[in-house]
Amino acid sequence: MKLLLTGFEAFAGDIVNPSREAVEQLDALPAGVEVKRRILPVVFGEAAKVLLEEIRAWEPDVVLSVGLAGGRSAVSVERIAVNLADARIPDNKGNRPVDEILSADGDPAYFATIPIKKIADAIREAGIPAEVSNSAGLFVCNSVMYAALHAAKREYPQMQAGFVHLPYLPSQAAALPAGTPFLSIADDIRAIRIAVETIASRTIRKNRCLR
């Protein structure tokens, strides 16, 4: 199974992004998984462009993107990406789209094609808080998830795609109001590893059945 795994650079004044740390530090992947990692810019348009270039150059079986959702208390496995950008804050180049369509020829929304409930259940069973989320937001994370799923529908029908959001790291939460939820980088890495294992178990088994 060829896996394109992406995280994001830091944004909004932070010097760290848990998605970057988890993607870069992830190890002990299942046998049969070939991974390519890419850290995306937190910039509307550019992030999706980089992602699509990687997809077209490498043609992965699975695209799993990881991002930060500060304020959430659990690892969020996203169900849906919508064809809209509406930024609460500027991206890393100062862009702040309001009610902008991401793709003129795209569907209003796309559902993730990775096994979202199985992933969330497996992460919880490992003792890490996890949930299925029905909103990937309207920032750059959503645009990347949408781009991957749009490409899957239009160009790569066998490719699976999905998105996982992580809470703040402890160092980030320490600078915010008391009670701000966080998750350790060790648990972030375990959660992403479990997500990859769950996807690989289904994908590799399916591919063997097709031979």
Q: Residue 193 CA to chain centroid, in angstroms?
A: 13
CB 168 within 8 A of CB 184: no
Indicate which residues carry an active-site annotation: 78, 141, 165
Residue 63 burial (C-beta neighbours within 10 Å; 0-12, 13-18, 19+): buried
Q: How far is CA 166 from CA 129, 135, 170, in A?
A: 10, 13, 12
